[in-house]
Amino acid sequence: MATNESKVAIVTGANSGIGLEVTKLLASSGFIVVMACRSLDRANQAVAAMQNETTSLKSSGSFVPMQLDLSDYDSVRKFVSEFLAKFSRLDVLINNAGYAEEFSRQQRNLNSKGTRLTIATNHLGHFLLTKMLLQTLKDTASRHGAARVLIVSSDYHTYTFRVKPLDFDDLFMEKPGAYSGSQAYKNSKAMNILHCRKLARMLEGTGVYVNALHPGFIPTTGFFRGCMRCFFICCFSGFCCCCRITRTPQEAAGHMFNIAAGVPPYEDKSGLYFYDGRSKPTSAETSLLANEDLLWEWSEAVTS
Ligand SMILES: NC(=O)c1ccc[n+]([C@@H]2O[C@H](COP(=O)([O-])OP(=O)(O)OC[C@H]3O[C@@H](n4cnc5c(N)ncnc54)[C@H](OP(=O)(O)O)[C@@H]3O)[C@@H](O)[C@H]2O)c1
């Protein structure tokens, strides 16, 4: 095990989009960044590209690519045991990886083990990952002053067009007519916020701070590749809502970095949801304490 003095961060989905940008910022400020990626090849390619891009990153040697498929709970367990064999501290955990299928799709995509991809990737895999790393986060906070978790959600959790509130009797949306790609994505992003609030409450007083964030509408990441209809819906609603519709991956990553690294004024913030660096309210269903507990119990049962 490395007895490292450097701060250690894990970023899920670090090989592309905003995960890649925040990885660069963390490494530039001295973190060892564990890039937790579905494909080790894509992670290694991202490291090579980053090291070509900036000489300072080349000399830092601060990237540790590791394989993690969040839709596969065995892969999550393997990742955590390999991480704990290598590192004795965890200062920052960024639950960033995300998946969305075509919003109009009525049948869910499954992984090779039959797991439902959207809810597993966006919530359940991250739930298990965070739970298995909680003790390390708490130990790091007690030894080094603080540790932080940042969960990347989305304002899509507030949308009501053709989507229903969470049904706690059917969180996998298996009742007839309950499933659609947009319902699954909206539910998974609402789960992110309930997960954040519950963790923040549980960890009060431990020095571990937990927040969630909407990165903004960023059409230049790879996120909309399988989902053109959702891309156009977002474009249209964004166009109608405001003049400054989109954000760049660099802008989003800047806010992510500040919150995750506890840069003032974020050093003691916990249980909040941010957009553009400012905290904002969340949907009614994600503000109910009872829903936090229901989701926690269900997530534990499904992933154990
Ligand atoms: N872009 C936007 O407008 C927007 C808006 C709101 C919220 N978000 C959220 O922002 C986060 C990052 O998205 P992005 O825009 O940066 O898109 P992106 O470039 O597509 O990044 C998504 C990342 O998640 C990884 N991933 C997907 N499934 C995975 C799995 N099963 N296990 C491990 N990693 C997996 C992808 O890996 P592969 O390269 O292997 O596919 C990729 O690295 C997501 O949580 C998304 O919901 C994005």
Cα 100 to averaged position of ligand 1 atoms, centre (Å): 8
Q: What is the pLDDT of residues 242-251, one digit of tens each?
A: 557 789 999 9
Strands 147-152 and 92-95 turn out to be parallel
Q: Is 187 in the pocket of ligand 1 (CB under 6 A)?
A: no
Residue 217 Cβ contacting ligand 1 at under 6 Å: yes
What is the pLDDT, as a whole number, of residue 238? Answer: 57
Model pLDDT, residue 273: 98
Residue 241, pLDDT score: 52
Residues of the domain holding 212: 8-303
Cα(18) to centroid(ligand 1), Å = 8
- Burial class of residue 132 (count of CB atoms within 10 Å of its CB; 0-12, 13-18, 19+): middle
Ligand 1 near 68 CB (within 6 A): yes
Output the residue whose Cα is nearest ligand 1's atom 1.
Answer: 218
Task: Please tell me the predicted confidence (pLDDT) of residue 160.
Answer: 84
- Predicted pLDDT at 57: 67
Q: At 211, which CATH number? A: 3.40.50.720
pTM check: above 0.85: yes
Residue 3: inside a domain, yes or no?
no
35 occurs within a structural domain = yes
The atom of ligand 1 lying closest to the CA of 97 is 24
In a 10 Å sphere around its CB, with 0-12 CB exposed, 13-18 middle and 19+ buried, how is residue 167 labelled? middle
- For the chain, what is the domain count? 1
Q: Which run of H or E residues covers position 76?
A: helix 73-86
Quick check: is 63 in a domain? yes
- Does residue 69 have its Cβ closer than 6 Å to ligand 1? yes
Residues marked active site are found at: 179
Domain-located, residue 175: yes
188 within ligand 1 shell (Cβ under 6 A): no
pLDDT tens over the chain, length 304 residues: 544 589 999 999 999 999 999 999 999 999 999 999 999 999 999 999 998 887 666 555 599 999 999 999 999 999 999 999 999 999 999 999 999 987 777 777 777 766 689 999 999 999 999 999 999 999 999 999 999 999 999 999 998 888 899 999 999 999 999 999 999 999 999 999 999 999 999 999 999 999 999 999 998 887 776 566 666 656 655 564 555 778 999 999 999 999 999 999 999 999 999 999 999 999 999 999 999 999 999 999 999 9
Which mutation among 12, 15, 18 tests ligand 1's pocket best, with the greatest number of atoms within 8 A of CB? 18
In a domain, 21, yes or no: yes
39 CB near ligand 1 (under 6 Å) = yes
Ligand 1 centre distance from Cα of residue 62 (Å): 22
**Within a domain: 25:** yes
Give every CB contact of residue 28 below 8 A, 6+ residues apart in sequence. Answer: 54, 56, 57, 60
pLDDT digits (tens, 9 = 90+) for 229-272: 666 656 655 564 555 778 999 999 999 999 999 999 999 999 99
Q: Identify the residue whose tokens are 């989905």.
A: 13
Pairing of the two strands 208-214 and 273-275 = parallel
The 10 Å Cβ neighbour count of residue 122 is 28
40 within domain boundaries: yes
CB count, 10 Å around CB of 253?
25
Q: Is residue 1 part of a domain?
A: no
Calculate how far, in angstroms, residue 293's C-alpha sits from the geometric centre of ligand 1: 27
